[in-house]
Structure 1
Amino acid sequence: MIRHLVLFKLNEGVRRDDPRAVAGAEAFRELGGVIPELEFWECAWNIADRPIAYDFAINSAVADADALRRYLEHPAHQAAAAMWREFATWVIADYEF
């Protein structure tokens, strides 16, 4: 199994209630029921208010590297990620467990 973690940081001046951020969060929430390669899916806004905290997180799992590639290339994932490019940056970690 591969764990796929993503942490998003909203760009300067963008708030969680920005319509783009609201739509982007909803687009990611929907992916769990849309992309068959996802064996585990959760995402949510961060509740920590520490200065180093990121704003939104995805925690997911897929069976193997091929499933991860199919997830990343899936049109629904591509569309959701494109939305976030307009108002955030992110970091990822993929590891086997």
Structure 2
Amino acid sequence: MIRHLVLFKLNEGVGRDDPRVVAGADAFFALGGQIEELSFWECGWNITDRPIAHDFAINSAVEDQDALKRYLEHPAHQAAAAQWREFATWVIADYGF
């Protein structure tokens, strides 16, 4: 199994109530039910207020490298990620478990 973690930081001046952010979050909330390669899916907003904290997180799992590739290339994932490129930066970690 591979765990796929993503932490998003909204760009300076962009708030959670920005319509682009709301649409982007909705797109990620929906992904879990759209992509069969995902064996685990959760995402949500950070609930703490610390300077080093990111704003939004995805925690997901896939079976293997091939499944991760298919997930990353899936049109629904590509469309959701494209929305976030407009208003956020992110870091990713993929590890086996």
| 1:52 Cα deviation from its structure 2 partner | 0.4
Alignment partners' CA distance in 2, 1:10 and 1:66: 30
Alignment partners' CA distance in 2, 1:48 and 1:71: 29
Structure 1, unaligned runs of 5 or more:
none
| 1:45 Cα deviation from its structure 2 partner | 0.4
1:22 aligned residue: 22
Deviations 1:39-61 (Å, cap 9, x if unpaired)? 00000000010000000000000
Alignment partners' CA distance in 2, 1:52 and 1:16: 17
Q: How many percent of aligned residue pairs carry the same amino acid?
A: 84
1:85 aligned residue: 85
1:50 aligned residue: 50
Alignment partners' CA distance in 1, 2:14 and 2:23: 13
Work out the number of aligned pairs and report it.
Answer: 97
Alignment partners' CA distance in 2, 1:20 and 1:29: 14
2:31 aligned residue: 31
Q: Is 1:4 the equivalent of 2:4? A: yes
Amino acid in structure 2 at the alignment position of 1:22: V
Alignment partners' CA distance in 2, 1:73 and 1:30: 16
Alignment partners' CA distance in 2, 1:92 and 1:81: 12
Structure 2, unaligned runs of 5 or more:
none
Q: With structure 1 as the length reference, what TM-score do the two structures score?
A: 0.99
Amino acid in structure 2 at the alignment position of 1:5: L
Amino acid in structure 1 at the alignment position of 2:58: I
Moved over 6 A (4+): none
Q: With structure 2 as the length reference, what TM-score do the two structures score?
A: 0.99
